[in-house]
Amino acid sequence: MNNIDARTHVRGASVYLDDIPLINGTLFGAAFGSPVAHGRVNSLDVAAAAQMPGVVRVFTYKDITGENQIGGIIPDEPLFAEQETHFCGMPLAFVVATSVDAARAAVKKIQADITPLPVITDPREAQAKGELIIPPRTFRLGDTANAWQQCAHIFEGRADTNGQEHLYIETQGAYAVPQENEVIRIYSSTQGPTAVQRAVSKALGLPMHQLDVEVTRLGGGFGGKEDQANTWAALCALAAHHLKKPVKYALHRMEDIAMTGKRHPYSSDFKIGLDADLKIIAYEVTFYQNAGAAADLSPAVLERTLFHCTNSYFIPHVTATAYSCRTHLPPNTAFRGFGGPQGMFVIEAAIAKAATALGVPASAIQQQNLHHTGDTFPYGQLAQSEAPACWQKAEELYDAAAIRQSIHDFNVANTLYKKGMAFMPVCFGISFTKTLMNQARALVHVYTDGSVSISTGAVEMGQGVNTKILQVAARAFSIPPERIRIQPTSTFRIANTSPSAASATADLNGKATWMACQAIMERLKQVAAEALQTDTAAITLQDEQVFVHGKASGWDWKKLLMAAYVKRVNLSEHAHYATPGIHFDTSREKGHPFAYHVYGAAIVEVTVDCLRGTYTIDAVKVVHDYGASMNPAIDQGQMEGGIVQGIGWMTMEEVIYDAEGRLRSNALSTYKVPDIYAVPKTIQLQALDTRQDNLAIFRSKAVGEPPLMYGIGAWFALRDAILAFHPAADIPFSAPMTPEKVLMALYSKNGTPAPHAKTVDHLAVDK
C-alpha cells in the first residue's frame, strides 16, 4: 500500500505549517539570536526595533508570564537569554510585526552589548574543565583490566565524528492562535506535540489543558524537531498570549541552521585487544559527546551511544565510559540513530585499525566476532541475534569473494582510480531507552456510516506511520482503507504522548490502535452474535461482511454498526499500550531496555579518483532484518533514504564552527547533503525474513533508524580505496571523509600525519 499522503504530495496540495491559511490579524515573528556564543549581556536595546514601521512589540525574558525555561530532560535551557548567552543564535528577543519583512527588518535594529567570555567548542576541553551536563556513565561487562593479558594484539586510537545538520526541507515553525478563555491553539512543526505543550505551559504559566498543539504533518524531521520545535512554539504562544492575536513564525533557512542543534559530534578514544585467532577479547572506549550549551536530549543520546558501542559484536570484556560535555554550540539534539551511529563508528574504527596493522581484511575480524543468540550485551540484555544470518546471506547472495577479487583486479590495472569495499553490520535496539516513554494511546471512532476516524500520538513526517496505522485498522476491522481517516495529531485528542522518535512510533501507536479496534470489534461481535443468535466466537468479519461459522450471514459492516448504535453500544475506544517486558536499572547499568533488535549487514563499494580526491559510492548491497514487513514500499523508502543520509553524514556533510562558536556552514551553499548524483549507483536490498515472534506491530520490525548506519560502511570503503593507492597513507579516523580529507590522505607522507582539516577562521569567500 502506498503512502496515504502521496496523492496530495505530488499535487502540491498537502498542507504544511507555512501553508495554513492565515486568520485575519495574524502577526509575524522573528527572533533575534545572540551574535556572541558565550558572553555577559550588559544591555539589550530594542527601542529602535520597536519603532520600526509595522512592529507591534518586541519581547524579551522580562515578558515571560511563566518560567523562562524550556529544557526537557534537565531544566537548563532558558527560552530567552537573560544575563548570559550560551551559544550563537540563542534568542535574546522576539520581534512581532504586521509582516514578515517588517519583523526581519526590525531584528536588524536590535543592539546587544555583550562582553565576550571564553568559548569552548571542543568536548575534550569541556570535559577537562569539568563542564559536564550529567555525571559520566560507564557500562561494564567482564573485566577489561585483567583481560588485556589474554590479548595477543592490542591497538589504541582516537576516532572523531562530526555533527550533522538535519536539513529537513521544511524549516521549523509555529503558528499560535488564541481562542476564548486563554486557550491557545498552536500549529507546530514538531515531532513531539506533548513536548511543545509542556514547554509552552511552563513558559506561559498556563495549564496544559489550555494548549492544543496540532500537527498535520512535517516536511521532514529526522530528530531535529523532537525537542527543538519548542522554542518557536513558545515564542509565538507567548506573543499571542500577550497580544491576543495570532502569531506565526516560520524560520528562514539561515535562522534555522544557525539557531538549532545538530547530531552530536563525538571525539573518542579506544583500545581494543584480540587474541591470536582474531577474537576480540577486550574493548575500552571513552566517548566525549559535544552536547552544546544545554542538555536538550543529550543524556539520552549519550545512553544510546553506550548501548550500541559494540555494534553487532560480542566482546566478553567491555568498559565504555561517556561524558556529555557542555560547550558553547547550539544544544545538540536527536538525529536518526540518536547516538548509536557515533558509538558504532568507533568500534568499526578500532577493528579497521587492528585489521590494517595485522594485514587482514577488516571483514575477517568483523565476521569472527558477530554476536549470537544468547550472547550478552554490555548492558545485560541477551541477544536474539540475526547478525550471523544477515552477514552470511549478504556474503553469499552478493558474492563478496567475487567483489573482493574484482576490486583487486581493478586496482592492479588502474592508477588514476582505486576501488575499495567494506562490510557494515548493524544491530540497533528498538524502544525508547527511557522505559517510561514506551507507551502510546489511540482513539478510534467508528461512525454509523461505516467510516472510521483514528487519532494517535504519532506524527507523520514522511516515514509513513499514518499509513501503517491505517493498515492496522483496516486489518482489524477488515474494511477497505478508504473508510479510514487518520486525523491530525492533537494534544486535545491524545494526551501525554511520546514524541515520534526512536523508530518506535508505528509499533507503539500501531499496537494501541490495534487494541482500540479490537475492543470495538469485540462489542460488535457481541451485537452480531445476539442478533444472529449465536456465540461471539462464531462471528467473524471479513471484507465488510459478517460471517457465522465462516458462512455469510447477510449482515454487513454498516448494518452491524447501525444495530450496535441502536442498542446504545459504544462505537469508540481509547486504548493504551505499554511495551511489556522492558526495564533498565541505571544504578547498575543493566537491564532489558529494548523490545527487540534490528539486524543487518551491508557491503559498500566505492571508487576514488586518485587525481582529484573525489569519489563515487558504487554500490550498497544489504541484507536486512525486517521481521516481516507490513509495508514493503514504505520500508524500502526508509532503507534507501536512511542509507543515503548515513552516507551523507560520513562523506560530504560537514558542520563547521569557528573558534568563536559561529556556524560557518550556515546555508545550503556551504552545507552539502547528497544530491541525486551523489547517491550510490546501486542500492540492493534483500529481506531476511525471520520467524521468531517479536514485539513489533504485526512482526514488522522498526525501520526508521537502523539503515542510516549502513552508511558508516562508506567511510571504511573509502579508507580501503585510499590504502590501495597509498598503503602507508595516514588516514585519521575522522568523519566525514570529504574530498579534502581523501586527497590529503592520498598524498600524505609516510609516517607523518596529513594536515587535518582544521576549524576555519574565515567566512566563506563567496556567499
Partner 1 sequence: MITFILNSNTIHTDMPPGMLLLDFIRYHQHLTGTKTGCNEGDCGACTVLMGTLNNNALQYRSFTSCLTPLGNVHGRHVVTIEGINPEEGLNPIQQAMYAESATQCGFCTPGFVMSLAGFCLGHRPATAEQAIAAVDGNICRCTGYKSIERAAAKVAQLLAQRGDAAAVDFAVEQHLVPAWFAGIRERLRALQLSANGEFEPADDVQAHYVGGGTDVYVQKPEEMKLQAIRFLFDQPPLNGIAREGDRCVLGPAVTVTDLLESPLIQQYFPRFPAYARLVSSTPIRNMATIGGNFINASPIGDFTIFFLALDAMLVLSNGRSSRELPLRTLYKGYKTLDKAPEEYIAQVWFTLPGAGQQFHFEKVSKRTHLDIASVNSAISLTLDGDAIKEVRISAGGVGPVPMLLEKTAAFLQGQPLRETLVQAAIAIAQTEIAPISDARGTAEYKRLLLGQLIKAHFITLCPQLQAAAMLNHEQY
Which of the residues 92 through 111 are near partner 1 (CB under 8 A)? 101, 104-105
Closest listed residue to residue 421, CA positions, set 429, 430, 410:
410
Unique residue bearing C-alpha cell 573485566: 143
Q: How far is the CB of 694 from partner 1 (least distance, A)?
A: 25
Query: By CB under 8 A, what part of segment 288-347 binds partner 1?
Result: none
Whether 228 contacts 501, CB under 8 Å: no
Number of residues that bind partner 1 (CB under 8 A): 100
Q: Could you say whether residue 738 binds partner 1 (CB under 8 A)?
A: yes
Contacting partner 1 within 401-430 (CB under 8 A): 415-416
| Binds partner 1 by CB under 8 A, chosen from 62, 244, 551, 767 | 767
Q: Report 473-512 residues binding partner 1 (CB under 8 A).
A: none
User: Of 4, 16, 354, 383, which one interacts with partner 1 (CB under 8 A)?
Assistant: 16
The rounded distance, in Å, linking the Cα atoms of 680 and 639 is 13
Q: Which stretch binds partner 1 (CB under 8 A): 6-14, 61-69, 352-360, 497-505?
A: 6-14
Which member of 643, 709, 735, 737 binds partner 1 (CB under 8 A)? 643
> For partner 1, which residue of 464, 704, 706, 713 counts as binding (CB under 8 A)?
464
Long-range pairs for 725-729: beta carbons < 8 A, 24 or more residues apart: 725/418, 725/608, 725/610, 729/754
Q: Looking at 10, 276, 412, 537, which residue binds partner 1 (CB under 8 A)?
A: 10
CA 447 to chain centre: 36
Check: CB of residue 17 under 8 Å from CB of residue 256: no
Site string for partner 1, 623-642 (x = CB under 8 A): ----------xx-xx-xxxx
Q: How far is the CB of 45 from partner 1 (least distance, A)?
A: 21
Q: Does 654 bind partner 1 (CB under 8 A)?
A: yes
613 scored as a contact of partner 1 (CB under 8 A): yes
Q: Give the nearest distance from C-beta 19 to partner 1 in angstroms.
A: 4
Among 40, 496, 570, 747, binds partner 1 (CB under 8 A): 747
CA 112 to CA 109: how far, in whole Å? Answer: 10
Does residue 13 touch partner 1 according to CB under 8 A?
A: yes
Mask for 232-271, x = binds partner 1 (CB under 8 A): ------------------x-xxx-----------------
**Of positions 33, 72, 78, 219, contacts partner 1 by CB under 8 A:** 219
Q: Which of 106, 84, 103, 94 has the alpha carbon at shortest distance from 38?
A: 84
The residues that bridge with 376 in the sheet, in sequence order, are 382
Interaction between residue 729 and partner 1 (CB under 8 A): yes
Q: What is the DSSP string of 489-532?
A: EETTTS-SPPPS-TT-HHHHHHHHHHHHHHHHHHHHHHHHHHHT
CA distances from 416 to 231, 403, 605, 612, 725 (A): 51, 20, 17, 9, 9
- String marking each residue 140-179 x if it binds partner 1 according to CB under 8 A: --------------------------xxxxxx--------
- Which residue type sits at 364? A
Cβ atoms of 508 and 579 within 8 Å: the answer is yes
220 binds partner 1 (CB under 8 A): yes
**What part of residues 664-703 is at the interface with partner 1 (CB under 8 A)?**
664-665, 667-670, 672-679, 683
Quickly tell me which residue has 514488522 as its cell.
700
Contact call for residue 757 and partner 1 (CB under 8 A): yes
We find the least distance from the C-beta atom of residue 421 to partner 1, in angstroms, to be 20
Distance from C-alpha of 238 to C-alpha of 59, rounded to nearest angstrom: 9
Nearer CB in complex with partner 1: 276/765 = 765
Does 611 bind partner 1 (CB under 8 A)? Our answer is yes
Cα distance between residue 413 and residue 407, in whole Å: 10
Q: Give the H or E element holding residue 648.
A: helix 632-650
Let me know if 620 is exposed, middle or buried by CB neighbors in 10 A (0-12, 13-18, 19+): buried
User: Are 113 and 60 in contact, with CB atoms under 8 Å apart?
Assistant: no
Q: Is 621 in the site for partner 1 (CB under 8 A)?
A: no
Q: Which is nearer to partner 1, 96 or 683 (CB)?
A: 683
Task: For residue 639, give the 3-state DSSP assignment.
Answer: helix
Q: What DSSP letter does each residue of 394-435 carry, written as one string?
A: HHHHTTHHHHHHHHHHHHHH-SSEEEEEEEEEEEEEES-SSG
**Phi then psi dihedrals of residue 496, to 5 deg:** 55, 45
Residue 104 or 153 with smaller CB distance to partner 1: 104
| Beta carbon nearer to partner 1, 360 or 763 | 763
Does 9 sit near partner 1 (CB under 8 A)?
yes
Any idea which residues carry the catalytic annotation?
A: 705
The answer to whether 145 and 73 have CB atoms below 8 angstroms apart is no
Interface stretch with partner 1, choices 56-64, 200-208, 360-368, 735-743 (CB under 8 A): 735-743
Closest distance of CB 766 from partner 1, Å? 4
What does DSSP assign to residue 748?
A: P
Shortest distance in whole angstroms from residue 669 CB to partner 1:
6
Residue 5 binds partner 1, judged by CB under 8 A: yes
